[in-house]
Amino acid sequence: MALDQSFVGRSYPPTDPYEVGREKIREFAVAVGDANPVYTDPEAAKAFGHQDVIAPPTFVFAITFAAAGQVVADPQLGLDYSRVVHGDQKFAYTRPVRAGDRLTVTSTIDTIKSLAGNDVIDIRGEVHDESGERVVTAWTKLVSRAPEPEPAATPAPTPAPEEA
């Protein structure tokens, strides 16, 4: 069943603030294998003009995807999450995320399309710091796979004619 196009443009309330910690940034950098010292060493970050360590570019995925959960969980939208796969992700930064930031995310449904029976939904997450400055915009594409068709009923075998 195709998702309702009237949801395009719908925004959800901002999330509670997420406080970005140095240790979370360090853990993420290690997990993605990025040894850039601006992610782990405050002095290295300052040498590059940052106030504190900064986060790798994909760090905000965790908080924007969690915020997109408001969309996914909206019972009026009717998205069957058991059929959803992550289709794409992109980011547009105003400035890097840095340790000490308190970030909120406001999710908006940008588009809903139906392609070959699959529903494709694009969710935009606007990430702001506590002063209201936009830090990054993230776009998440989710694909809800079409249900598999029911197998066709197999006709009962016809009995062989009796021999005379």
Element (H, E) at 127: strand 118-128
Phi-psi region of 37 (alpha: psi -120 to 50; beta: other; left: phi over 0): alpha
- pLDDT of 139 reads 97
- What is the DSSP code string of 38-70? GGT-HHHHHHTT-SS-B--GGGGHHHHHHHHHH
HSE-CB of 55 using CA atoms within 13 angstroms: 27
- pLDDT of 164 reads 57
Residues comprising the chain, all counted = 164
Average of per-residue pLDDT values in the chain: 92
**How far is residue 91's CA from residue 81's CA, in Å, rounded to a whole number?**
23
Element (H, E) at 125: strand 118-128
**How far is residue 32's CA from residue 61's CA, in Å, rounded to a whole number?**
13
- pLDDT of 148 reads 74
- pLDDT of 51 reads 94
pTM: 0.84
Computed on alpha carbons and rounded to an integer, the radius of gyration of the chain in Å comes to: 23
Question: In the chain, which stretches have pLDDT less than 50?
Answer: none
